[in-house]
Structures are given as C-alpha cells and as structure tokens.
Amino acid sequence: MTSLTDKPALNLSRIAIHAVLLLAVLLYLVPLVVMLLTSFKTPEDIGSGNLLSWPTAFTAIGWSKAWATVSGYFVNSILITVPAVLISTAIGALNGYVLSMWRFRGSQLFFGLLLFGCFLPFQTVLLPASFTLGKLGLASTTSGLVLVHVVYGLAFTTLFFRNYYVSIPEALVKAARLDGAGFFTIFGRIILPMSTPIIMVCLIWQFTQIWNDFLFGVVFSSGDSQPITVALNNLVNTSTGAKEYNVDMAAAMIAGLPTLLVYVVAGKYFVRGLTAGAVKG
C-alpha cells in the first residue's frame, strides 16, 4: 500500500498531512529535548528558566553527579542483562528448533502452555519466585535476577524462534537427516546459520525488556544488587534535600541511553520484534 496515486500532487491536503506529521514529530521529541536541556542546566538555571529555555551555560555537572550515583547500578544492569539475554535466547532457539522441526506427542500442548506465559501478569508469580530465590540463596543477587529473567523471558524467546523456524521447509531437516546429520549437527550447521535475523530480533527484544525491567528489579533485589531502573526511581523519588532536576534528567538519560542506542542502531529488528511479539502464535 505504498501508493494510492501514481504521482502525489503537491496540493493542499498533502501539505496538511505533512504539517500534521511534522507537528507530531515535534510533540514526540519534546520530552527528549526537555530531558537533554534540563540535564545540562545548572539548578539555578532550571529555577529561573522554563522547560525549553536555552541553558545560560551548558554544564555537565548534572551528568557527573548522576553518573557518580548510578554507575554501580548501571554495571549491575549490565551484569544482569547480558547473561540473561544470552541464556534466554540460546534456550529459546533450541526450544523453537524442537517445537518446529522435531515435534512429538505433547509438544504442541507444551507450546500452548508456554504461549500463555507471554500474557502472564508477573504479579501472580512474584511471591513464589521470591521464596524460591530465597531457598536457592539467590535473593537480592544479580544472579537471582538473571535466573528470573531467563525463566520469564523463555515464553517470548521460544515464540520468536518457533515462529521463525516453522517457515523453514521441513524438507531441509529431512535432507540433512538422510545426509547422516544428527539433532545438534543439523541445528549447528544448517538451522543456526539461517537464523541471523531472528537472533537479532530476539537479542534486541530481550535486551530492551530486561534492561527496562523494574518489577523484578524492585522485588528481587536490594541495595547493591539493584538494576539501574530501580536506582533511578529511588533517586527521582527521594524527598530528602533540594531536588536537583538536572541530576534526575541526566540519570534518566543514562538509564535510557543503552536501549535508545540499540533502537537507533538496529531499529529494523526492534520494530520487527515488537510486531512479531504482538502477532502471537
């Protein structure tokens, strides 16, 4: 549906359409611009000016203060996100491979049960999960969060790979079996090399989900093991002392930059993941 008329005439309605779209662009950009401007202002500047007033002097003091406060938690988020993304993607790939190419009696039922996990409100598993983490000695550790993210990320990662692999002709696996290849050989030599796009989608989806998570972070971690989202929330919502909005905004930017960066660099896969995750089953 790219074209309705073969040559878009530059008439009034097209100008109106462009104007509306441009206005929307500005509106969507406002919060980001405000965050950036505020983060580079001095507290006095913030008090005297308004949201969109140009800083009288650009200062990185907000950023350095924010970094000093949240850098440890930023590292925590990396320590949580990287292993959780890799592990859940790897398991999802293997699951998807079995569920599409090596179906057995009951595997479809299992897939159905797993699919529900995409919709599961995590509130219903928070308590038992925290008891379990306690029993495993993983309460309030980054490893515990890795485990939780892997477990509750499985539904989506499996879904991604399964839906990608069902579109690969089964004959490919049959041919490889006749060629004498086994389960893992077929996966490693034939299926995995074909999976680059879906691996990208899955990695990016999981990265955004886990980096942006707040619920698991706030429930399963405390103090030194908290991820950046929890630290940001604590920073912004402390009521002690004078509010330093430049620090708040810089910290919010720090928390948002990794996912924004991923979005800018690999937006294609990000959108594909969103819509693939949306059109479930």
* 116 vs 241 by CB, closer to another protein: 116
Least distance (Å) from another protein to the CB of residue 210? 10
* 52 vs 68 by CB, closer to another protein: 52
Least distance (Å) from another protein to the CB of residue 58? 18
CA 162 to chain centre: 20
* 61 vs 151 by CB, closer to another protein: 151
CA 275 to chain centre: 14
Least distance (Å) from another protein to the CB of residue 57? 19
Least distance (Å) from another protein to the CB of residue 229? 4
Residue 140's region, left for phi above 0, alpha for psi from -120 to 50, else beta, is left
* 93 vs 142 by CB, closer to another protein: 93
* 25 vs 57 by CB, closer to another protein: 25
Tokens of 254: 């720090």
Least distance (Å) from another protein to the CB of residue 217? 9
Minimal CA–CA distance to 218: which of 227, 208, 206, 210? 227
Handedness of CA 206, 212, 218, 224 (dihedral sign): positive
Q: Are 206 and 152 in contact (CB under 8 A)?
A: no
Tokens of 124: 């219903």
